[in-house]
């Protein structure tokens, strides 16, 4: 079964042209922007996602860190996060000294439960970082309303949900900041890379300080989180192919779902929120009956243990019963890792059925 790979001759050609004809980085002292290709990517990304500003960086993790730096998170601040997400979501505020406050998840969407959030907000709460997990939009409109009410920031970790939507809004564009990933196993990829979007000039300026050593002279001490010209040039090609890429991944997810239903496997198929668009980074089902057997590749048992169990992120005792219960039931197919034929999809489902 071949791996999913959206990189082709067009990306190879533009990478070669850039290496041979352009500076590999356009960042210089006191520059707010990178080179020509970084600038073009930022412009096109903002236009595509209908936002005012986009800032390219060298990874989605860097984008999360830059967003946290831009709003001034420091020791003593509290940041509400889900324990059911990739570790970078929590690591970014933690590295700046913030206290992590864990919020349990909705059992259907696997994203932060908005009913629990308000009870976790204190005078020290600086932000909520919400993950649109597996390609599913979180309850963004409700969370944005809570953040407005309490005058705190909403940062979207949108690494897994590019072009997903909640009602009429694209994921990544609802909060004050939205962070996208171009990592090798995402829908659009350049090996590594990321983009952060925001809605006003001040946030744009602060992001650029964060990713470029503070060279914008605004007073923020920054790091080197910058994107190279080769990465930006390849990202432009990927963005131009986005519609076809997303269509192909959705077709895989729907074919997989149909095969599982036809086979009558003891799985609860992924929930898709009404009037919302799911990007299907992962096809995330739940077991109806307990099963401790090893699943046949490329099926995966579980996503990850709750982040508060990681030694580097451990806090005082946490009560997140949905996360604890869900993880033992989860069966995943990483839609962005393989590119199977229809026969291979049926065979994957057959082999899973034999185990279950």
pLDDT digits (tens, 9 = 90+) for 155-210: 999 999 999 999 999 999 999 999 999 999 999 999 999 999 999 999 999 999 99
pLDDT for 233-266, tens place per residue? 999 999 999 999 999 999 999 999 999 999 999 9
Residue after which a domain boundary falls, among 240, 261, 296:
240
- The DSSP bridge partners found for residue 166 are 169, 276
Q: Check which CATH number belongs to the domain holding 289 and give it.
A: 3.90.1150.10
Give the mean model confidence (pLDDT) for residues 102-111: 96
Tell me what the pLDDT averaged over the chain comes to.
95
Q: What is the DSSP string of 155-202?
A: EEE-TT-TT-EETTEETTSSSSEEEEE--TTSSS-SSS-EEEEESSHH
Residues 187, 286 within the same domain: no
Q: What share of the chain is helix, strand, coil (3-state, %, to 5)?
A: 40, 15, 45
| pLDDT band (50, 70, 90) for residue 313 | confident
Residues 258, 185 within the same domain: no
pLDDT for 28-73, tens place per residue? 766 768 899 999 999 999 999 999 999 999 999 999 999 999 999 9
Three-state DSSP state, 57? strand
Q: 42, 56 in Cβ contact below 8 A?
A: yes
Residues 293, 222 within the same domain: no
pLDDT at 331 (0 to 100): 96
Residue after which a domain boundary falls, among 215, 240, 265:
240
Residues 67, 195 within the same domain: yes
Domain that holds residue 300: 242-355
pLDDT at 291 (0 to 100): 86
Domain count, the chain: 2
Residues 95, 164 within the same domain: yes
pLDDT at 221 (0 to 100): 86
Q: Check which CATH number belongs to the domain holding 47 and give it.
A: 3.40.640.10
Residues 32, 56 within the same domain: yes
Residues 62, 74 within the same domain: yes
Residue after which a domain boundary falls, among 213, 240, 267:
240
Give the mean model confidence (pLDDT) for residues 73-101: 97
- Do the domain assignments include residue 3? no
pLDDT at 216 (0 to 100): 67
């Amino acid at each position: 079964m071949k791996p999913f790979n959206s990189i082709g001759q067009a990306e190879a050609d533009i990478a070669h042209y850039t290496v041979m004809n352009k500076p590999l980085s356009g960042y210089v002292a006191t520059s707010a922007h990178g080179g020509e290709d970084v600038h073009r990517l930022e412009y096109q990304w903002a236009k595509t996602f209908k936002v005012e500003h986009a800032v390219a960086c060298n990874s989605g993790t860097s984008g999360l860190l830059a967003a946290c730096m831009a709003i001034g998170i420091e020791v003593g601040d509290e940041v509400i996060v889900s324990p059911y997400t990739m570790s970078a979501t929590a690591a970014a505020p933690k590295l700046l000294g913030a206290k992590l406050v864990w919020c349990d998840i909705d059992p259907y969407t696997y994203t932060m439960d908005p009913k629990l959030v308000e009870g976790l907000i204190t005078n020290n709460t600086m932000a909520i970082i919400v993950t649109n997990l597996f390609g599913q939009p979180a309850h963004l409109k409700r969370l944005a309303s809570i953040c407005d009410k309490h005058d705190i920031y909403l940062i979207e970790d949108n690494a897994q949900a590019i072009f997903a939507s909640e009602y009429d809004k694209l994921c990544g564009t609802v909060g004050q900041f939205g962070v996208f990933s171009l990592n090798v196993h995402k829908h659009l990829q350049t090996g590594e890379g990321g983009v952060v979007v925001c809605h006003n000039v001040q946030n744009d300026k602060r992001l650029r300080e964060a990713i470029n050593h503070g060279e914008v002279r605004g007073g923020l001490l920054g790091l080197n989180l910058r994107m190279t010209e080769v990465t930006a040039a390849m990202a432009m090609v990927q963005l131009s192919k986005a519609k076809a890429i997303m269509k192909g991944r959705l077709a895989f997810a729907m074919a997989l779902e149909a095969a599982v239903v036809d086979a009558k496997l003891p799985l609860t198929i992924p929930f898709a929120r009404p009037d919302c668009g799911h990007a299907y980074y992962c096809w995330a089902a739940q077991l109806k009956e307990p099963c401790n057997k090893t699943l046949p590749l490329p099926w995966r048992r579980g996503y990850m243990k709750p982040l508060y169990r990681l030694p580097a992120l451990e806090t005082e005792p946490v009560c997140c019963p949905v996360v604890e219960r869900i993880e033992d039931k989860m069966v995943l197919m990483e839609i962005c890792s393989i590119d199977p034929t229809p026969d291979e999809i049926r065979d994957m489902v057959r082999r899973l059925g034999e185990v279950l």
